[in-house]
Amino acid sequence: MSKVLIPEKKAKIKRAIFKKADTFGYASCARNDSGRFMDELVEDPEVGGVLKEYMSKEKIRTYIKDGVLNAYTKELTKKVLASASPFETIQQIYSVPSSIIQKSQSKSMGVSVSRSDDGRIFVISGGTVLKWETALRKALDLIARQPGLIVNGTTPSICLHLAVINQNITDGEKKHIAAALEAIFVKARFCAG
């Protein structure tokens, strides 16, 4: 019978991995470097050394990647997106003041609906640069589920808050994403932490 990893040890391992990920610069490292970092964590006495008492080496890698590093990345994304105000975005991009009339939260990134003083409706949806399509889908799903957002036949304006947690994205890539979205009348605001 295998041993069960108790919550206190899980929390201690998670804290250790988060600290090591910060020090290593995991969020902005290249794929090869992330593989090397994973190897280091598996061999680290504080991480892999403890986990090997509870699981096989293959399961250690999966646990670290799926159970801890994904949570680490989501937490960073959430922090970056929290710094981007829907009010400021609407003012900056559309040049109108607005007020939030609806806000919903998914696990890590929310969608908000705002109305400007002149009656226009805006849907702001958050996500990561790498998964901007998911942020767009969340905005479109909200509009489809709530037909009352379409006023006098006018669909709400959509703007995506896209978290840049991997600093390797170039200005050219940002321009490409913005141009692709602009083709369907969607705006993008890139948010860095």
Q: In 3D, which of 115, 112, 109 has the Cα closest to residue 94?
A: 115
Q: Which of 76-90, 98-112, 156-170 has the lowest mean pLDDT?
A: 98-112
HSE, side-chain direction, 13 A CA sphere, residue 76: 23
**Which of 37, 56, 80 represents a domain boundary (last residue)?**
80
Domain that holds residue 17: 7-80
User: Whole-prediction pTM value?
Assistant: 0.80
Q: What's the pLDDT band for 106 if we cut at 50, 70, 90? A: low
Q: Tell me what pLDDT residue 172 has.
A: 93
Per-residue pLDDT averaged across 12-20, rounded?
A: 95
Please check whether residues 69 and 116 belong to one and the same domain. Answer: no
pLDDT digits (tens, 9 = 90+) for 126-139: 998 988 999 999 99
Per-residue pLDDT averaged across 131-155, rounded?
A: 92
C-alpha to C-alpha distance for 96 and 53, rounded to whole angstroms: 58
Q: Tell me what pLDDT residue 169 has.
A: 82
Q: What's the pLDDT band for 144 if we cut at 50, 70, 90? A: very high
C-alpha to C-alpha distance for 47 and 17, rounded to whole angstroms: 7
Please check whether residues 99 and 12 belong to one and the same domain. Answer: no
Q: What's the pLDDT band for 1 if we cut at 50, 70, 90? A: very low
C-alpha to C-alpha distance for 96 and 109, rounded to whole angstroms: 24
Q: What average pLDDT is seen over the chain?
A: 89
Please check whether residues 172 and 136 belong to one and the same domain. Answer: yes
Please check whether residues 15 and 106 belong to one and the same domain. Answer: no
